[in-house]
Structure 1
Amino acid sequence: MRLAALLLMGLLAGPALAVQPDEVLPDPALEARARDISQGLRCLVCRNENIDDSNAQLARDLRLLVRERLVAGDSDAEVMDFVVDRYGEYVLLNPTAGGANLILWIAGPAMLTAGLGIAALYLRRRRNAPEPEAARLSEDEKARLAEILKD
């Protein structure tokens, strides 16, 4: 019985959305669009949370702004452009892969490729390098080493 109760509570415990009842739009289609847009917007206070999941006041302001723009007749793209123009591209949970961000998208793989290339060159040169004179053993030293290794 307890297991069934725990299972039921686990199934009912969905994500805790911070959207307040007074924010919900009366038109279900507009509300669905607002939720879709909100999933892609970062809470500027909580960092890696979307604005629907955040209880921060700034996230509430962003949710209200999105709904206000939708009620005014903006398309989803226009709402996103408006928010990005106002708060910067950091507000997007999935930043675009163009413009200045292109450097960030390319930098990681480029640095990895460069590092692997440098390591390969180093290992190739090290393998082909002649043995230094100091590392060579004389005949007496070789005999002494063999004697030590026997013991």
Structure 2
Amino acid sequence: MSKIRITKLFTFETGHALYGYDGKCKNVHGHSYKLSVTVIGQPITKEGEVKLGMVIDFGDLKKIVKEEIVDIFDHATVFNQNTPHVELAKELKDRGHNVILVNYQPTSENMVIDFAQKIKNRLPNNIQLHSLKLQETDTSYAEWYASDNE
């Protein structure tokens, strides 16, 4: 049976700041992120199965990605927990803002690594995460491939 890749696209708005960076991104700013999630597996062949012919139901993949990433990161501000931005984070949280503290510099590269792990942990055993593409702007993105990380 052939292995097939399927991809679903997600969008969310997230703010961040890169502490210690020597350019404009040291300032708090935001992006309209686009996350392409590609999984690979064999289509279901069992007769009578309601998901016959599917690798994974797009709705099931959507549920995983929404719960692990979109619902958490959408309209949140992300800071590295090991920087002085924690003071700003506390102030924002005290004022009712959605702030996420992560243990990494919140670049697209590090975010896509984090997202890959979260998604892989939730996929059924017969489905593998093939790749992620996290687009920060129309011309800039980071990609993660399972084949590069085995």
| TM superposition score normalised by structure 2 | 0.29
Structure showing greater Rg: 1
Greater helix percent: which structure?
1
Greater strand percent: which structure?
2
